[in-house]
Amino acid sequence: MQLLRILSVYVLISLVTSSPAAGPDYSDLAPRQDLSSVLGDLSASLKGIQALLSPTSLANIESLITDASSLLAAPTGNQTKTLIGTASTLLSSPELTSLFASVGGLLTPQLITNVTDILGNAHDLLTPEFVSETKGLIKDAAPVSGQIEGGGIGILTNEL
């Protein structure tokens, strides 16, 4: 009887291990990914997280949250809303709209180009050295200007 039990357990074990259990086949539901590409993606993500968790980034994030908190806290948040509302009301007023319409003809692309050119040239011209030299010329010319204004025409005819 003992032999029959051992033999049946042996047969049962061999049947279970020799034939795989029939079950659903999920192999075609998702394409297999190469393990190296998954690890590469994971590595890149971890580097991004590492940069985000650096001491400098954490200090910057803390500073940003602290500053935003104080900026959005009362009374600044309410004052900002009021200011925006007032500006919106002013900018949409009929008076300002008509002013923009009347000035609109003056602001041509050519005028904007001319003003831009003038400002660019002034920027190039007004160096510290040029300003200093111009101040010196004005200082030197001030006495001569006083003589001309006083009626002394001698300076113009070399009769000093």
Mean residue pLDDT across the chain:
74
Give the pLDDT confidence of 101-141 residue by residue, as tens digits.
777 777 777 888 888 889 888 888 888 888 888 888 888 88
Both tokens assigned to 58? 């954490």
For the stretch 28-43, pLDDT in tens is: 555 556 666 767 777 7
pLDDT band at 14 (very low <50, low <70, confident <90, very high): low
> What pTM does this model have?
0.28
Q: Which residue has the tokens 């009887």?
A: 1
Predicted local confidence at residue 30, as pLDDT: 55
pLDDT tens digits along 43-64: 777 777 877 788 888 888 888 8
Lookup: tokens for 87: 């500006």
Helix ranges (DSSP H) in the chain: 2-18, 35-52, 55-72, 76-91, 94-104, 109-125, 128-149
Q: Answer yes or no: are the C-beta atoms of 146 and 139 closer than 8 Å.
A: no
List CB contacts of 155: < 8 A, sequence separation 6 or more.
144, 147, 148
Q: In this prediction, what percent of the chain has a pLDDT beyond 90? A: 0
Long-range contacts, stretch 49-52, CB < 8 angstroms, 24+ apart: none
